[in-house]
Structure 1
Amino acid sequence: MKKAGLVISLLAGAAIGVSGMAFASTGGHQTATGTFQESSLPGGGLEVPHNDRIHLSTDKQWISSEGHLSDLIRLQWTKDRAKPAISWLDETGKDKAAIVAHAKANNPEQHDHNHMSFETTMAPDGKNANELFTRLEIPFDQDVAEIRTHSSNFNVMDGILRIAGTGGVNRDLTWAKSDDGNVTTPRWSMRADTSEETGGNAGSNLQIIRYSDDGKALDNPLTINRSSGNIGIGNSDAKTKLDVSDDSIRIRKSMTPASSTAPGEVGEMAWDDGYVYVCVAPNTWKRTALSSW
């Protein structure tokens, strides 16, 4: 029996209320291994005999003009709020996980969802015990899909979390404020910028971007040059290891070295009410007196 004939026979059997046959392949021949029966789960449906398997295969390609003939399973909604799903149940028949795709929410007052969602149950001793909850959603009808997670932590174990992009594209990791309707407004971004890579480790410099209340970029208060390692505060072209575009630098706490040979590293600076101290060699301090004017 060919595949098309098998499908027609099973559908015909179900339509007239007769249990269809489940088939397995043995030595190139199809043999009956059991019969479909009514499912005991809520809502009923056909149940494949226990431990029997369904084997689907194709030599077709995923080509739109040919009707996507390689999709061996098709789930279709025929009303605007229907939600075709594949679900996983535990030994007692309770839902534990599901993959769902749909356009509109159950509640007509909610915005359209237009997404595929991966759902798992909430904690059995929590507020929404055993309720299936969307953990990951991937929207459709968008040129750039805004993929979201909910009540989930994302861990990369023994691997790499990578943000890549082609030349001329910012590569951002963004922190945002979330509002109703899945609207997000950026607050901070860590960015590998669009500066051209010209060799010698130049280009793709690292920036911290800050945003206004309405989500518009204000400036980049910190930039690290990839080629030199120079850090710019308030500028993007630092000429020294620390280049500050302001008229003062603040050291909040005072410190008085115990003596001119107190422990210290070259370049350390400190102050107190009477002096400014500079460590000019290992464990060697010099000072200059402060005066009013």
Structure 2
Amino acid sequence: MKLHIIAGTLLVGLVAGIAGGIVYASESRDGGGGAAAPFVESPLPGGGLQVPHNERFHLSTDQKWVYSEGHLSDLIRLQWTEDRAKPALAWADEKGMDKAAIVAHAKANDPNQADHNHISIETTMSPDGEQANQLFTRFEIPFDQDVADIRTHSSNFNVVDGILRVAGSEGVTRDFQFAKTEKGNVTTPRWAIRSDATEESGADAGSNFHIVRYSDAGEALDTPLFIARDAGNVGIGNTDPASKLDVDGDSIRIRRAKTPASSSAEGKVGELAWDNGYLYICVAENTWKRAALESW
């Protein structure tokens, strides 16, 4: 059996005999023979046909989803027949109030808005808010795009006991972007966390880490922070660090002064410190040396 729902109207073809109106036939839930029970008018706003209470549709198919054959396995098909129509599946509470819906449509209600061209999952706003109980798009997937720009609205995304993963094939850059949103869902990047497309040639090489900075126009400016995956070398302002920390700049600033209490004060190898008179270097554990500072 194939069920077609067209523009909100439920049309059911049942090989049970139709006499004087649409009927539906089944055995009763207790296993006994059931008489044909008619559809009734829905009490919800807008009316429509209502299936008898506690009954269900069971749809099945042995057909494939093949474009050239007309997608014969589409047991439920929703179609809009006017350009601003919005066929939907909706869920209502015990009072008949809409609470959630899945909607697909092309054009917005407002002719001045850009075409939506998406399928969306919608839920109601808070009952005591500015748009009380109104259905609001939370998640949308556009159609007529080779790469779909999926969006969420007024929604937090939580991964509980799992992994948030950005994956890609060999030679593909993987980005996690922070962007500015403008009118019409236009986004302009500001920062990106990136695993680059450098070839993975063995010995842990390739797929290096970047933090990328963008201009007001959304153009990539530079890489303030880079980490090579093979050696773990960190580049500040460069992408080819030759040591554990490689700074492409003409100064490094340590903001706060520190004076070790003595040459045997607590310290780790390589620590640097300064005060008004000396530059201090810890050359071995708890062993400091200093050089006097002079004006010129």
Cα gap change, 1:279 to 1:32, in 2 (>3 Å): farther
Contact 1:22–1:36 (8 Å) recurs in 2: no
Contact 1:22–1:48 (8 Å) recurs in 2: no
Question: Which of 132, 135, 139 is equivalent to 1:136?
Answer: 139
Aligned to 1:148: 151
Within a 5 Å distance, the mapping from 1:98-109 to structure 2 comes to 98-109=101-112
Contact 1:33–1:52 (8 Å) recurs in 2: no
| Structure 2: gaps of 5 or more residues | 4-10
Residue identity over aligned pairs, in percent, reads 66
| Structure 1: gaps of 5 or more residues | none
- SS where residue 65 of structure 1 aligns? helix
Q: Structure 2 length normalisation: TM-score?
A: 0.91
Which amino acid is the alignment partner of residue 223 of structure 2?
A: N
Q: Give distance in 2, aligned partners of 1:228 and 1:192.
A: 15
The CA deviation at 1:33 is 6.4
The CA deviation at 1:258 is 2.0
**After superposition, what is the alpha-carbon deviation per residue over 1:207-243, rounded to whole angstroms, capped at 9, x for unaligned?**
1111111111111121100010000111111111001
**After superposition, what is the alpha-carbon deviation per residue over 1:249-272, rounded to whole angstroms, capped at 9, x for unaligned?**
111111112222222222111111
Aligned positions, number: 288
- SS where residue 13 of structure 2 aligns? helix
**After superposition, what is the alpha-carbon deviation per residue over 1:78-134, rounded to whole angstroms, capped at 9, x for unaligned?**
000000000011111101100000000000011100000000111112221111110
- 1:61 equivalenced with 2:67 (yes/no): no
Contact 1:19–1:37 (8 Å) recurs in 2: no
Q: Give distance in 2, aligned partners of 1:74 and 1:200.
A: 52
Within a 5 Å distance, the mapping from 1:166-181 to structure 2 comes to 166-181=169-184
- SS where residue 79 of structure 2 aligns? coil
- 1:236 equivalenced with 2:229 (yes/no): no
- 1:215 equivalenced with 2:218 (yes/no): yes
Aligned to 1:50: 53
Q: Structure 1 length normalisation: TM-score?
A: 0.92
- 1:8 equivalenced with 2:13 (yes/no): yes
Root-mean-square deviation over aligned CA pairs = 2.4
Q: Give distance in 2, aligned partners of 1:25 and 1:115.
A: 40
The CA deviation at 1:23 is 2.9
Aligned to 2:116: 113
Cα gap change, 1:41 to 1:7, in 2 (>3 Å): closer
Ranked by relative contact order (alpha carbons within 8 Å, sequence separation 6 or more), the top structure is 2
Which amino acid is the alignment partner of residue 20 of structure 1?
A: V
- SS where residue 202 of structure 2 aligns? coil
Aligned to 1:36: 39
Aligned to 2:77: 74
Q: Give distance in 1, aligned partners of 2:16 and 2:136.
A: 33
- SS where residue 55 of structure 1 aligns? coil
Q: Give distance in 1, aligned partners of 2:111 and 2:17.
A: 37
Richer in helix (by share)? 1
Aligned to 1:253: 256
Which amino acid is the alignment partner of residue 263 of structure 1?
A: E
Within a 5 Å distance, the mapping from 1:80-95 to structure 2 comes to 80-95=83-98
Which amino acid is the alignment partner of residue 161 of structure 1?
A: L
**After superposition, what is the alpha-carbon deviation per residue over 1:185-209, rounded to whole angstroms, capped at 9, x for unaligned?**
0111011001110111110000111
- 1:285 equivalenced with 2:288 (yes/no): yes
Q: Give distance in 2, aligned partners of 1:87 and 1:32.
A: 29
